[in-house]
């Protein structure tokens, strides 16, 4: 769907990594704003203040109403962004595939392979079951 440009306005385009885009959109949603509104606000503040520094030209910067100092908030946001990047992303299809691989007894699944190992151990007189529980070993 192509959205026509409002009269007298131009579009700004940039390329970012998909993970960074998702993290930025999540951050904007957390603050109840759209990504385009945040970027537009930053651009307008940068033009008004004649500075491209993030801390200096950021729209809606710390107003002093919160109990968290701006430096601490900035550090927390950096740590949260790093955490969002490192967290694995699973969609439903991935989770279904993992469940099939681990739990179903189909040929090649982990359950099937462990069944073979268990049968071989039992044929030699052993067992893969615990003789005592983990708490009882001590």
Q: If you average pLDDT over residues 72-77, what whole number do you get?
A: 82
- Residue 48 structural domain: 18-86
The answer to whether residue 61 scores a pLDDT higher than 80 is no
Q: Are residues 80 and 99 in the same domain?
A: no
Confidence of residue 63 (pLDDT cuts 50, 70, 90): very low
In this prediction, residues 103-129 reach a mean pLDDT of 84
**Residue 135 in domain:** no
Task: Look at residue 132 and tell me whether its pLDDT is greater than 80.
Answer: no
User: What tokens were used for 91?
Assistant: 């969609």
Q: Is residue 1 part of a domain?
A: no
Give the pTM: 0.41
Higher pLDDT, residue 63 or 72: 72
Question: Which residue pairs from 112-116 have beta carbons closer than 8 angstroms and sit at least 24 positions apart in sequence?
Answer: none
The whole-number pLDDT of residue 55 equals: 61
Quick one: what percent of the chain has pLDDT higher than 90? 4
pLDDT category at 15 given cuts 50, 70, 90 is very high
Cα Rg of the chain, angstroms: 27
CB neighbours (10 Å) of residue 64? 7
Provide the number of structural domains found in the chain: 2
Give the model confidence (pLDDT) of 81-105 as tens digits. Answer: 888 788 777 778 888 888 888 888 7
- Per-residue pLDDT band for 128 (boundaries 50, 70, 90) equals confident
The mean predicted confidence, pLDDT, of the chain is: 80
Domain membership of residue 43 (yes or no) is: yes
Tokens of 120: 């071989």
Tell me if 78 is assigned to some domain: yes
């Amino acid at each position: 769907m192509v959205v026509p440009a409002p009269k007298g306005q131009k579009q700004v385009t940039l390329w970012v990594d998909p993970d960074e885009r998702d993290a930025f959109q999540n951050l904007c949603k957390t603050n109840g704003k759209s990504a385009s509104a945040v970027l537009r606000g930053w651009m307008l503040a940068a033009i008004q203040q004649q500075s491209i520094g993030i801390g200096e030209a950021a729209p809606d910067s710390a107003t002093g109403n919160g109990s968290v100092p701006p430096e601490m908030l900035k550090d927390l946001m950096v740590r949260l962004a790093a955490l969002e990047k490192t967290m694995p992303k699973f969609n439903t299809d991935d989770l279904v595939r993992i469940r099939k691989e681990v739990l179903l007894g189909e040929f090649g699944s982990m359950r099937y392979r462990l069944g073979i190992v268990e049968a071989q151990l039992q044929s030699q007189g052993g067992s893969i079951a615990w003789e005592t529980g983990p708490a009882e070993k001590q």
